[in-house]
C-alpha cells in the first residue's frame, strides 16, 4: 500500500543545509533497503487519484529578517522571487509540473503567489512571522527530488540581489 511520510532537516546555515539533506536521504534509502521498502523522491509518484505530491519546502531567513522590521525585508525578498519565478522553477527539481497544479496545497507552476498561512501559495509567510513582524518564509515550490545546493543557492542569489522588484499582492486564505 502506498504511503507518504515527511521529515525536517535543520535548522542549518548555508551549504550545511544541502549536506544534511543529502546525508538524510542516504540514511533513509539504506534503512528502506534493510527493511525491503521502496522509497522514491519523485514529487508525484502516483498521478491517478486524489494524492498530494511531495515537496522540499525550504524555510529561509537572514539576520535582517529575524530582527525588528524583518517582515518588510521578507516581503522585498518575496517580490524578488516573484520576478524570477520561472528561473527558480527551472532548478527546483524534475517532475514538478505534476505536483504544482494549484491543487493539493500547491500553487500553479505557471504563476507565482504568496500569502500568510496559505499552503496553496508558492511562498508562505507563517502566522507567527506576520504577528511578530519578523521571522522567516517558506518557499513551497521545490520538489522532493530537488538538489538542495541549487535551491538554496538560487534563493540566496535572488534575494540578496540589489534590485527593486515589483510589488506582488498577497493571496488571502480564501483563495487557497
pLDDT tens by residue, 89-106: 999 999 999 999 999 889
Tell me what the mean pLDDT of segment 61-70 comes to: 98
Phi, psi of 57 (to 5 degrees): -55, 135
What are the cell numbers at 38?
521502496
Tell me what the mean pLDDT of segment 41-57 comes to: 90
How far apart, in whole angstroms, are the C-alpha atoms of residue 60 and residue 120? 18
How far apart, in whole angstroms, are the C-alpha atoms of residue 125 and residue 1? 34
What are the cell numbers at 5?
511520510
CB neighbours of residue 116 within 10 Å: 18
What are the cell numbers at 137?
518564509
How far apart, in whole angstroms, are the C-alpha atoms of residue 146 and residue 136? 21
pLDDT score for 12: 92
**In percent, how much of the chain has pLDDT > 70?**
97
pLDDT tens by residue, 107-147: 999 999 999 999 999 999 999 999 999 999 999 999 999 99
174 CB-contact burial (10 Å; exposed 0-12 / middle 13-18 / buried 19+): exposed
How far apart, in whole angstroms, are the C-alpha atoms of residue 84 and residue 78? 10
Q: pTM of the full predicted structure?
A: 0.93
How far apart, in whole angstroms, are the C-alpha atoms of residue 57 and residue 164? 25
Q: Are strands 123-125 and 114-116 parallel, antiparallel or unpaired?
A: parallel
**In percent, how much of the chain has pLDDT > 90?**
78
Amino acid at each position: 500500500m502506498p504511503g507518504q511520510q515527511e521529515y525536517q532537516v535543520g535548522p542549518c546555515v548555508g551549504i550545511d543545509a544541502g549536506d544534511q539533506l543529502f546525508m538524510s536521504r542516504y540514511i533513509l534509502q539504506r534503512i528502506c533497503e534493510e527493511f525491503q521498502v521502496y522509497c522514491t523522491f519523485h514529487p508525484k509518484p502516483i498521478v491517478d487519484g486524489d494524492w498530494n505530491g511531495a515537496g522540499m519546502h525550504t524555510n529561509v531567513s537572514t539576520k535582517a529578517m529575524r530582527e525588528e522590521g524583518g517582515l518588510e525585508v521578507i516581503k522585498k525578498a518575496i517580490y524578488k522571487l516573484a520576478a524570477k519565478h520561472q528561473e527558480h522553477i527551472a532548478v527546483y527539481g524534475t517532475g514538478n509540473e505534476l505536483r504544482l497544479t494549484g491543487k493539493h496545497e500547491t500553487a500553479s507552476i505557471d504563476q507565482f503567489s504568496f500569502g500568510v498561512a496559505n499552503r496553496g501559495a508558492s511562498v508562505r509567510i507563517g502566522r507567527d512571522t506576520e504577528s511578530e513582524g519578523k521571522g522567516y518564509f517558506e518557499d513551497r515550490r521545490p520538489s522532493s527530488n530537488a538538489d538542495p545546493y541549487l535551491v538554496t543557492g538560487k534563493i540566496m542569489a535572488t534575494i540578496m540581489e540589489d534590485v527593486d522588484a515589483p510589488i506582488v499582492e498577497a493571496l488571502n486564505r480564501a483563495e487557497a
